[in-house]
Amino acid sequence: MKSLVVYSSESGNTRKLAEAVYEFLSGDKEIATVADAPDPAGYGFVAVGFWLKAGQPDPDSQAFLARLKEGQEVYLFASHGAAVGSVHAENGMKKARELAAKAHVRAVFSCPGEVDAKIIETAAQKNPLPPWLADAPAAKGHPDANDLKMVVRMLMELGLP
């Protein structure tokens, strides 16, 4: 089965996850940024990584997710400044699933991703404060080695390529 790993990464966090997924996959595989992604139609398995913007996948990733094909095997993964399991993170993944509704989403994974200090500073000036802001300090240093291990563990558990 031909595999494609596509990602969008503003700060490099999601890129690290995408590279771990790509390295794990065997056989005929490609990796590309969302901006350079080929048509997903030619792939049996597609892993899509994104970051959250305003509680949703970033706009470029949203456009790509909508291009996924009927029944296509898909793995969604994300990094974000919010805590794992937070409403913010869960809503972001829910939106990604909705956008990929035609595809067969086999698994999802999300983890914290370190937020640039300038972004935290700007967000702290907003009223109301973004829901992820209180969690952002705990995201420092993520994705870490354990996050990279877990993003591929999900693939192993499901027997994905």
According to CATH, the topology of domain 3-158 is Rossmann fold (3.40.50)
pLDDT tens-digit profile of 6-38?
999 999 999 999 999 999 999 999 999 999 999
What DSSP state is assigned to residue 15? Answer: H
Degrees to nearest 5, angle at CA 134 with 143 and 113: 15
pLDDT band at 62 (very low <50, low <70, confident <90, very high): very high
How long a stretch of residues is the chain? 161
Rounded (5°) CA angle 117-121-127: 145
Grouping H, G, I as helix, E, B as strand and the rest as coil, residue 48 is strand
Binning pLDDT at 50, 70 and 90, where does residue 157 land?
A: confident
Average pLDDT, the chain: 95
Instruction: Return the DSSP state at 68.
Output: P
Look at residue 141 and tell me whether its pLDDT is greater than 70.
yes
Question: Residue 27: how many CB atoms within 10 A of its CB?
Answer: 10
* 72: confidence class by pLDDT, cuts 50, 70, 90: very high
Contacting residues for 1 by C-beta, under 8 A, at least 6 apart: 27, 28, 44, 45, 73, 161
Are the C-beta atoms of 101 and 70 separated by less than 8 Å?
Answer: no
Cβ neighbors of 83 (< 8 A, separation 6 or more) are 89, 112, 135, 138
Question: Regarding predicted confidence, which is higher, 1 or 134?
Answer: 134
Query: pTM for this structure?
Result: 0.96
Query: How many CB atoms are closer than 10 A to CB 2?
Result: 13
Phi and psi at 99, nearest 5°, equal -65, -30
pLDDT at position 161: 62
Dihedral sign (CA 31, 32, 33, 37): negative
Q: Please, what is the angle between helix 13-24 and helix 145-158, to 10°?
A: 40
